[in-house]
Amino acid sequence: MITVQGFEGLRVGVLGLGRSGLATCAALAAGGAEVCAWDDSAEGRAKAEAAGFACVDLTRQDAVPQLSVLITSPGIPHLFPKPHPVIAAALQAGVPVDNDIGLFFRALTDSDEPPKVVCVTGSNGKSTTTALIAHVLNEAGRAVEVAGNIGTGVLAIDLPGEDGVVVLELSSYQSDLARILAPDVAVFTNFSPDHLDRHGGLGGYFAAKRRLFSEGAPARAVIGVDEPEGQYLAMQYAEDAQDSRAIRISSGQRLQGQGWSVFARRGHLAEWRGGRQVASIDLRNIPGLPGAHNHQNACAAYAALRALGLAPRGIEAGLTSFKGLPHRSQLIAEKDGVRYVNDSKATNVDSAAKALQAFPKIRWIAGGLGKDGGLEALVPHLGAVVKAYMIGHSARDFALQLGDTPHEICETMARAVARAVAEAEPGEVVLLAPAAASFDQYPDFEKRGEDFTALVQAALNG
């Protein structure tokens, strides 16, 4: 656990008592702060009290003005669509508001041997890129901790020391509010519309991502330039065309110029510096990184690792042994020439489109609680689909949008898996990429992916 100092004897409010909130309470208490914990749910408050933290009703009119600072969890709105009442009271009273990411970087200033810090943000691929960087570092014998929007609350980790690395996945919610951002390496994977209500529109969403670079001023910035927002960010960060502080990355296009770039084309990763190629890696046969979207993740991870001083051949060895993250293009089985892939995390059409472009012949299981627009945006990406098996609340609505693509309305995961396993032929992939939320049949995408995995394994072993 990290001890947060500088608040000794001061009243510090902690709003939101989930994983990161409880870790924040512990880190502040260890530093001598008087922690005033609060959660809108009785369950959250009960967990905090069981852990030994006093709950103070911060919704009382006189509670917030008595605080020296308010620390809020990332899921709680602080500006759009409207501030949470406790945060609104803090803004009105002039009480500073921060989050655990800001406290983490504050705590680093008190460390005698601070580790290197890599922060990964972007719209898609953050978790895989974060896990990939950490995996390669582990394989290279470096001490590494992973936290943030993936795995552990950042204040719950132990700092790995001067030669170690902390890899943080940061959502826009986290980067938007942190009062201190000071990564050594910052990564921007890509950009597409998301969380627009929380940020007041697309511009606010991009501004939240951009803070990691404008406020954080990393020594190296790894920036995906396949969208105009990334191109703009790279342009702002670099002093001139030769500035190697900005490493531009891409999947699908060869990057020009005299600067530092890493790109993937036709399954091959290439690193260029000063107008010449200095390294390359064949990504095509790495099972944990299928498809162009994962090749983009590989480029982002490779560039960050090069910025940390790792050699190309060591990075290649780590990429090759990477097994992928659960529920993200995860190969769960292979039998009789048929592969079974769990991409339950593909909860929207953008991520599902990337999955559908990763394989040549697909028996596609999709559906759930559909989002605005349904599957309309996926129609151009259905060319590899041999047959679709529709499940969940949106099964029939989705089926109406498939056009000439062969399909079957199965409703349940069990029937969809049984039908796909029975009909699959050698060379095909049975792919779960729902393009929908899970909440009609499952509590979360993890449970949906676990059910798919269990049903596949039972069918193949039965």
- Is 172 marked as binding a ligand? no
Whether residue 126 is annotated as binding a ligand: the answer is: yes
- How far apart CA 153 and CA 107 sit, in angstroms, is 14
| 190 in a known ligand binding site | no
Which residues, 6 or more positions from 313, have their beta carbon under 8 angstroms from its beta carbon?
none
The β-bridge partners of 119 are: 168, 186
Q: Is 153 annotated as a binding residue?
A: no
How many CA within 13 A on the CB side of residue 92?
A: 12
Question: Bridge partners of 273?
Answer: 260, 276
Residue 216 marked as a ligand binder: no
HSE-CB for 314 with a 13 A CA cutoff: 16
Is 128 annotated for ligand binding?
yes
| 125 assigned binding-site residue | yes
3-state secondary structure the chain: CCCCCCCCCCEEEEECCCHHHHHHHHHHHHCCCEEEEECCCHHHHHHHHHCCCCECCCCCCCCHHHCCEEEECCCCCCCCCCCCHHHHHHHHHCCCEECHHHHHHHHHCCCCCCCEEEEEECCCCHHHHHHHHHHHHHHCCCCEEEEECCCECHHHCCCCCCCCEEEEECCHHHHHHCCCCCCCEEEECCCCCCCHHHHCCHHHHHHHHHHHHHCCCCCEEEEECCCHHHHHHHHHHCCCCCCCCEEEEEECCCCCCCCEEEEEECCEEEEEECCEEEEEEECCCCCCCCHHHHHHHHHHHHHHHHHCCCCHHHHHHHHHHCCCCCCCCEEEEEECCEEEEECCCCCCHHHHHHHHCCCCCEEEEEECECCCCCCHHHHHHCCCEEEEEEECCCHHHHHCCCCCCCEEEEECHHHHHHHHHHHCCCCCEEEECCCCECCCCCCCHHHHHHHHHHHHHHHHHC
Residues comprising the binding site? Answer: 122-128
Q: Which residues are annotated as a binding site for ATP?
A: 122-128
